[in-house]
Amino acid sequence: MKRPRSPSPVTTVRTPVPTSPHKAKKLKLHASYAVKSPFPNFTHPTAVEAYEIHDLLVKAHPGQRAIRQPPTFSSNSAQTCGNVPNVVEALIGVILSQNTSGQNSAAAKTSLDAAFGRNNFAAIASAPREDVVEAIRRGGLANKKAATIQNILASIKSKHGDYSLQHLAETDVDKRLSDDAIMQELISYAGVGPKTASCVLLFCLGRDSFAVDTHVFRLSKVLGWVPDKTDRVLAQAHLDLRIPGELKYGLHVLMMQHGRTCKGCKKSGSVQSCVLKTYLKEGRAGAPAG
């Protein structure tokens, strides 16, 4: 009597997860301009111009701390551009700070911590979406930001097995990732663009990266540091290569402060004084007159 043959083992074919077109576009754009400016023939800012503007703004805003400070656990990551030691918390903080005031983003982060516990990323990730929305409502765009935060947490857990990106903060010279590798990791997550990633690099990880927010972008155009017809992503790629590394933190902080407080350069045609407008009229260091 023939023994029945055992059924053939079932082979499970894993379908590869398709790459998001937007993610692929972000990574391709970053790779294109990691070592070459999108405006290779645009020579501003020179190192001299960058130093001059830095020193000018230090004098104009003497109370602004433009010296890099180590991340502190007590900081509110949404109010301090991600100046905390936990990388995921820094990333969430920068997302909460988008398109709102520092006061509102800080309130949203405080509320998020109260609702789920500080850095209890598993609770945030598994919570009903509406609970996260309610917790961060004060910061504006709550529906969009809640979805972004939960999707990022799910992606981090799927990729690394835990809700952690602390490998990006590794200081051991043999394990330390390059700035470029960190940038690629961060922008690979849906909802994280170059500016958000740059803030994490600059404020959380202590790397020399030049984040271009709304204020920095506007002032860069006033100074003639980027072409008139460009966007913030290309402007950041250009400026990150043109500005000396040792100035990136201080210049970013000072330009943000000046952009927030100076009434003389907030609107074109303003008759109020502005140290940058005076600088341009004097035509120092070959800066474009305006």
Domains of the chain from N-terminus onward: 40-68+210-284 (1.10.1670.10), 87-204 (1.10.340.30)
pLDDT band at 284 (very low <50, low <70, confident <90, very high): low
How large is the average pLDDT for residues 267-272?
75
Average pLDDT over every residue of 255-264:
92
pLDDT at 65 over 90: no
Pick the catalytic residue from 195, 221, 248, 266. 195
- State yes or no: pLDDT of 136 exceeds 90: yes
Residues 217-241: pLDDT tens digits?
A: 999 999 999 999 999 999 999 999 9
Residue 119: per-residue pLDDT: 97
* Tens of pLDDT, residues 15-26: 333 456 788 888
Say whether 25 is catalytic. no
pLDDT score for 6:
42
Q: What is the pLDDT averaged over residues 126-148?
A: 97
Q: What is the mean pLDDT of the chain?
A: 89
The predicted-structure confidence for 189-219, as pLDDT tens digits, reads as follows 999 999 999 999 999 999 999 999 999 999 9
Mean pLDDT to the nearest integer, 59-82: 90
Q: Which of 27-41, 224-238, 246-260 has the lowest mean pLDDT?
A: 27-41
Q: What is the pLDDT of residue 219?
A: 96
Q: SS3 for the chain, per residue? A: CCCCCCCCCCCCCCCCCCCCHHHHHHHHHHHHCCCCCCCCCCCCCCHHHHHHHHHHHHHHCCCCCCCCCCCCCCCCCCCCCCCCCCHHHHHHHHHHCCCCCHHHHHHHHHHHHHHHCCCCHHHHHHCCHHHHHHHCHHHCCHHHHHHHHHHHHHHHHHHHCCCCCHHHHCCCCCCCCCHHHHHHHHHCCCCCCHHHHHHHHHHHCCCCCCCCCHHHHHHHHHHCCCCCCCCHHHHHHHHHHHCCHHHHHHHHHHHHHHHHHCCCCCCCCCCCCCHHHHHHHHCHHHCCCC
pTM as predicted: 0.87
